[in-house]
Structure 1
Amino acid sequence: MTASDTRSRFKAKLLRPAKPGGDSLWAFVVLPEHVSAKLPRRGRTTVEGSINGHAFRATLEPDGQLSHWLQLNEELLKAAGANIGDEASFELMSVAQEPEPDMPSDLQEALAASPEARAVWEDTTTIARLDWIHWITSAKQAKTRVKRISDACDMLASGKRRVCCFDPSGYYSKALSAPKAAD
């Protein structure tokens, strides 16, 4: 599948999250099923696209329903001349090569302390590293995150290249979902 095979155009209403967290304004859209179905994976996926003709690059999050959702920050909304509640025009396609994910500092420190785990980490694929990071950062509690980092280092040090116990789509575990929209 080439990136152009994943190209889709659609319109969607910009939703306000019920619990936005933080001080910044942001909106989101849930991708239509037919758009998400064209993407190469149900987990986190990086896309290039446009909203109302304004280009962007973003990582889609899985919605737990075998689809994805997209967060739109205030800067992108302003640049696209879009407001929460508007219907916006989108064009999306997956990137040809998934970019290297940002590694959280706590995971970076743990891998630095375990040369065996670090060696396997560096020998895995970008998608595998993305899944490891997603598994760790999707923990809802700090103690769960700490345990997942420890478990990840143990699994990697033993030669395990993929996280075994994580459904990156959230479909089977229902661990992942799109934000709830405000009324």
Structure 2
Amino acid sequence: MIQHFEAEIYQTGINWCVDVPPTVTSQMKPEKGYIHISGKINGFAFRKTLVPVKNAPYRLFVNYLMMKGGATALGRVASFSIEQVEKERETVPDMHPQLEAALEQEELTAEFYALTAARKRDVIKYLYKVKAEETMRKNIRTLIAQLRNGEKNVRIPMNAYPIDPT
């Protein structure tokens, strides 16, 4: 449901923002405190997130593109129309066939699926980019060894995130 309101754009720190009236946000359902929205500022479309503020209404940060597109400026009152949208979830790509076979053979499938979605996604995406067969086997062996040791912070290749000596 589209909600309409007018608010003055003000500066907090280095950011421009508006306070969204509680009458508008009370009809929306926060996800981990935040409310994902799409809307318009003086007719200019945008997608943003309403940010909770302790003991204050939700805040909508206004960037330069929104100000320019909405033909408004700091200190001026702008007309907003917003509606809540579902945040698009990142999905984990399909399991790499060689990794799937190795996990089943070593009976480590459950351990792999216990990793965070981001970790699984990174591992699978990396394996799909590997071209050399020997590199693929080496990385899968490394991953299997890490899972067998009960590591939760698995990564391949092991030097994917080198430590800066300085």
TM-score between both structures, scaled by the size of structure 2: 0.53
Q: CA deviation at 1:121?
A: 3.0
Distance of 1:83 and 1:117 partners within structure 2: 51
Match of 1:8 in 2: 3
Q: CA deviation at 1:91?
A: 0.3
Distance of 2:72 and 2:48 partners within structure 1: 17
Q: CA deviation at 1:51?
A: 0.3
Distance of 2:112 and 2:55 partners within structure 1: 33
Q: Does 1:119 align with 2:114?
A: yes
Partner AA of 1:33 in structure 2: P
Aligned match of 1:76 in 66, 76, 79? 66
> Using a 3 Å threshold, how does the CA distance of structure 1 residues 81 and 120 change in structure 2: closer, same or farther?
same
Counting matched residue pairs gives 99
Task: Tell me the percent identity.
Answer: 26
Q: Does 1:27 align with 2:16?
A: yes
Partner AA of 2:28 in structure 1: L
Distance of 1:116 and 1:63 partners within structure 2: 39
Decide which structure has the larger Cα Rg and report it. 2
Partner AA of 1:11 in structure 2: E
Partner AA of 2:78 in structure 1: A
TM-score between both structures, scaled by the size of structure 1: 0.48
Partner AA of 1:14 in structure 2: I
Deviation per residue, 1:67-111 (Å, 9 max, x gap): 31010111110111010000000001100x21238xxxxxxxxxx
Deviation per residue, 1:114-148 (Å, 9 max, x gap): x969735329xxxxxxxxxxxxxxxxxxxxxxxxx
Structure 2: segments with no counterpart, 5+ residues:
91-109, 119-151, 153-166
